[in-house]
Amino acid sequence: MKSILLIGLGRFGKHIALNLNQMGHQVMAVDYDEEKVNEVLPFVTSAQIGDSTNADFLESLGIRNYDVCIVAIGNDFQSSLETTSLLKEMGAKMVISRASRDVQEKFLLRNGADKVVYPEKQMAKWTALRCSASNILDFVELDNEHAMLEVPVPHDWIGKSIGQIDVRKKYNVNIIGLKKNGKLLFSITADQMLDAGDSLFALGKDKDLQKCFRL
Ligand code: ATP
């Protein structure tokens, strides 16, 4: 369980709060709009109404005590940047900030963000991928070049073992897990057999994954 400070409770922030709650994390939610704060009250641990660009207000939240601080403000970039920078100055352990334009990403990283999420860009990529490759069940972009995919076991791999298909040598792709009968298996060995209906979690460079799974 992590202790998380979530600032900005628009649609994006609200979904983050919901998910963190389902995962059992402790969330302190902040927005300067009382209505937005009230909407998330049922699924956060605590909440405060306040302006995150106000240093005294932020200081009063005890920033060092949170494992992660999330700045989910999208439209008001000035506020997002000021909040990110203040959080880091106040000793935040990890700051994840939201970008909504390409240029914002690098400003946030230079001004205190440890990680940047860019929901519109990331979801656009995922949606385009889903349309063009119907066999992708899930996709996590790791950086500009690398990703993790969940894909159904290709037909010609059914009945073979992970060792026999040897995709690490052939394609430079790592199989890191398997879903069998709805169960996740992450300690798989080379003699693990692949059956119809299984899906694979594969990690690698985008171009290697595309070749390997004919995406
Ligand atoms: P979303 O796209 O997530 O729906 P939005 O379009 O409602 O967001 P944003 O400008 O991205 O609006 O702001 C997200 C939330 O952050 C809003 O609920 C807004 O009230 C809050 N917010 C913006 N600036 C601050 C600030 N300085 N302090 C606290 N809350 C803020």
| Tokens found for residue 141 | 């972009």
Whole-number Å distance, alpha carbon 107 to ligand 1 midpoint, is 18
- Indicate if ligand 1 lies below 6 Å from the C-beta of 201: no
- Indicate if ligand 1 lies below 6 Å from the C-beta of 6: no
At residue 215, the pLDDT reads 79
From 51, 71, 76, mutation site for ligand 1 pocket: most ligand atoms within 8 A of C-beta: 76
- Indicate if ligand 1 lies below 6 Å from the C-beta of 73: yes
Whole-number Å distance, alpha carbon 30 to ligand 1 midpoint, is 10
At residue 137, the pLDDT reads 87
d(CA 165, CA 62): 52
d(CA 214, CA 202): 13
Which residue's CA is minimally distant from atom 8 of ligand 1? 10
Question: Pairing mode, if any, of strands 95-98 and 115-117?
Answer: parallel
- Indicate if ligand 1 lies below 6 Å from the C-beta of 61: no
Low-confidence residues in the chain, pLDDT < 70: none
Looking up tokens 């709805």 gives 182
7 DSSP β-pair partners:
30, 71
* pLDDT, tens digit (0-9, with 9 covering 90-100), for 55-94: 999 999 999 999 999 999 999 999 999 999 999 999 999 9
pTM exceeds 0.85 for this model: no
d(CA 71, CA 89): 15
At residue 100, the pLDDT reads 92
d(CA 199, CA 107): 39
At residue 54, the pLDDT reads 98
Atom of ligand 1 nearest to the CA of 74: 11
d(CA 45, CA 6): 11
- Indicate if ligand 1 lies below 6 Å from the C-beta of 80: no
At residue 11, the pLDDT reads 96
Whole-number Å distance, alpha carbon 8 to ligand 1 midpoint, is 5
